[in-house]
Amino acid sequence: MPLHPQLQTLREQRARSGAAPLYSLSVEEARAADLASIRAAADSPRALHEVTDLRIPGPGGELAVRVYRPSAGRPLPALLYYFGGGWTLGSIDTADGLCRDLAAEAGCLVVTVGYRLAPEHPFPAAVHDCHAALRWVAGHAEELGADPARLAVGGDSAGGNLAAAVTLLARADGDLALAGQLLVYPNTDQLADDASMRDNADPWQFNHHSVAWYRRHYLTTPGDAEHPLASPLRAADLAGLPPALVVTAEYDPLRDQGEAYAARLAAAGVPVELTRYPGMAHGFFTMTGIVDAARAAGHQAARFLRDRFAPS
* Burial class of residue 55, CB neighbours in 10 A (0-12, 13-18, 19+): exposed
Confidence (pTM): 0.97
Among the listed ranges 40-44, 73-77, 274-278, 300-304, which one has the minimum average pLDDT value?
40-44
Selected residue with higher pLDDT from 35 and 81: 81
Position 97 scores a pLDDT of 95
pLDDT tier at 42 (50, 70, 90 boundaries)? confident
Contact (CB, 8 A) for 214 and 158 = yes
Does residue 252 carry a catalytic annotation? yes
Give me the DSSP letters along the chain. -PPPHHHHHHHHHHHHHTPPPGGGS-HHHHHHHHHHHHHHHSPPPPP-SEEEEEEEEEBTEEEEEEEEESSS-SSEEEEEEE--STTTS--TGGGHHHHHHHHHHHTSEEEEEE---TTTS-TTHHHHHHHHHHHHHHHTHHHHTEEEEEEEEEEETHHHHHHHHHHHHHHHH-S---SEEEEES----TT---HHHHH---TTS--HHHHHHHHHHH--SGGGGGSTTT-GGG-S--TTPPPEEEEEEEE-TTHHHHHHHHHHHHHTT--EEEEEEEEEETTGGG-TTT-HHHHHHHHHHHHHHHHHHS--
Distance CA 14, CA 312 (A): 48
CA-atom Rg of the chain in angstroms = 18
Is it the case that residue 312 has pLDDT exceeding 70?
no
The one catalytic residue among 157, 196, 210, 231: 157
Does residue 189 carry a catalytic annotation? no
Residue 124 identity (one-letter amino acid): P
Distance CA 237, CA 267 (A): 10
Q: Cβ–Cβ contacts within 10 Å for residue 105, how many?
A: 17
Position 58 scores a pLDDT of 98
Average of pLDDT values for 49-72? 98
Average of pLDDT values for 14-29? 92
Average of pLDDT values for 163-174? 98
Distance CA 23, CA 29 (A): 10
Position 242 scores a pLDDT of 98
Q: Cβ–Cβ contacts within 10 Å for residue 299, how many?
A: 13
Q: What are the tens digits of pLDDT across the range 94-145? A: 999 999 999 999 999 999 999 999 999 999 999 999 999 999 999 999 999 9
Average of pLDDT values for 32-55? 93
Average of pLDDT values for 258-282? 98
Does residue 217 carry a catalytic annotation? no
Distance CA 17, CA 204 (A): 11
Q: What are the tens digits of pLDDT across the range 295-307? A: 999 999 999 999 9
CA dihedral 217, 218, 223, 228 (to 10 degrees): -160
